[in-house]
Amino acid sequence: MLGVMDSFQATIDADGRIEPRDAMPEGYRKTLIRQIAQHAHSEIIGMQPEGNWISRAPSLRRKAILMAKVQDEAGHGLYLYAAAETLGVDRADLLDLLHAGKQKYSSIFNYPTLTWADIGAIGWLVDGAAIVNQVPLCRCSYGPYARAMVRVCKEESFHQRQGFEILHTLCNGTPAQKEMAQDALNRWWWPSLMMFGPPDASSTHSEQSMAWGIKRHSNDELRQRFVDMTVPQADVLGIRVPDDELTYDEATGRYSFTQPDFAELYEVVKGNGPCNQERLAHRVKAHEDGAWVREAAAAYAEKQAKKMQGSAA
């Protein structure tokens, strides 16, 4: 007879999906909670760099689009916290861990948005990198995470195109606008490459996460895919990826490129990036300011539950 963990392994081997009530090794559960929580935190902290530009977007149309995008990111956070909760954790505890600096969020959101072109660069590069990373997660072995990713990826594709379109407009505008687009690419290129995590040789979790079917590709494989996808798009825009070593290999159809400065990634992840303190302080304040909403929602839910009990009696 199969033991419970044999059935887990059989499902993984058959490329099936693990569902919340299925038996799973504690390490699998913990890895998923870590990754999904980090991903959810990234979505909601990731609202800040763009939210910062809603009041300064250059037209009503741009403002409406940007507001919708930032709201989408909040929605992604909600799907992901809900997916994490299926593993037996409470989102309130995950938020406490984020606020105490005990759980991470993506390094990319610790860089400032200095110009309007940065909003284009975030959509194009950051959402572009997110898509490359997340499309394989639609096939993640954990069902609730995989299903959340399907919806998230559809919305990220729209975000990526809106970012590209902002830059396309700037690149076809005045010389100063094109220069602004180039400057944004110069500043966002390296942090975008860092989003994929440390190089494979230094990645602590990749091997086990790939064996469990949580990750489907290594950090370096996805970084390479991102470069191969993005460089031709920069050519269309008429701006230059800031890498003097970038070369295209006809035989493989791939680019060879300079790796980002991983020492900088580790510093940003440790809390020493340009905006880490500001981002976390803003998040904690938003959480505290929203306490009355959570209290009111809980009081309303309690009242409704009592009413239901009363009508059932």
**Ramachandran sector of residue 124 (left: φ over 0; alpha: ψ -120 to 50; beta: rest):** alpha
Chain-centre distance for alpha carbon 200: 19
Query: What is the distance between the alpha carbons of residues 63 and 65, in angstroms, rounded to a whole number?
Result: 5
Which C-beta is closer to ligand FAQ: that of 17 or that of 163? 163
Find where tokens 């390296």 sit.
190
Which C-beta is closer to ligand FAQ: that of 179 or that of 228? 228
Q: What is the largest CA-CA distance in the chain?
A: 75
**Tokens describing residue 197:** 């995590």
Question: Is residue 106 at the binding interface for ligand FAQ, with CB under 6 A as the rule?
Answer: yes
- Of the candidates 133, 160, 192, 276, which one interacts with ligand FAQ according to CB under 6 A? 133
Half-sphere exposure of 137 toward its Cβ, with a 13 Å CA cutoff?
A: 24
Query: What is the distance between the alpha carbons of residues 79 and 156, in angstroms, rounded to a whole number?
Result: 14
Query: What is the distance between the alpha carbons of residues 313 and 309, in angstroms, rounded to a whole number?
Result: 6
Question: Is residue 263 at the binding interface for ligand FAQ, with CB under 6 A as the rule?
Answer: no
Contact 118, 128 (CB under 8 A): no
Site string for ligand FAQ, 25-64 (x = CB under 6 A): ---------xx--xx--xx--x------------------
Shortest CB 214 distance to ligand FAQ, Å: 8
Which C-beta is closer to ligand FAQ: that of 134 or that of 182? 134
Site string for ligand FAQ, 205-234 (x = CB under 6 A): xx--x-----x---x---------------
Size of the site for ligand FAQ (CB under 6 A): 29
Question: Is residue 169 at the binding interface for ligand FAQ, with CB under 6 A as the rule?
Answer: no
Rule CB under 6 A: which residues touch ligand FAQ?
A: 34-35, 38-39, 42-43, 46, 73, 104, 106-107, 122, 126-127, 130, 133, 194-198, 203-206, 209, 215, 219, 269
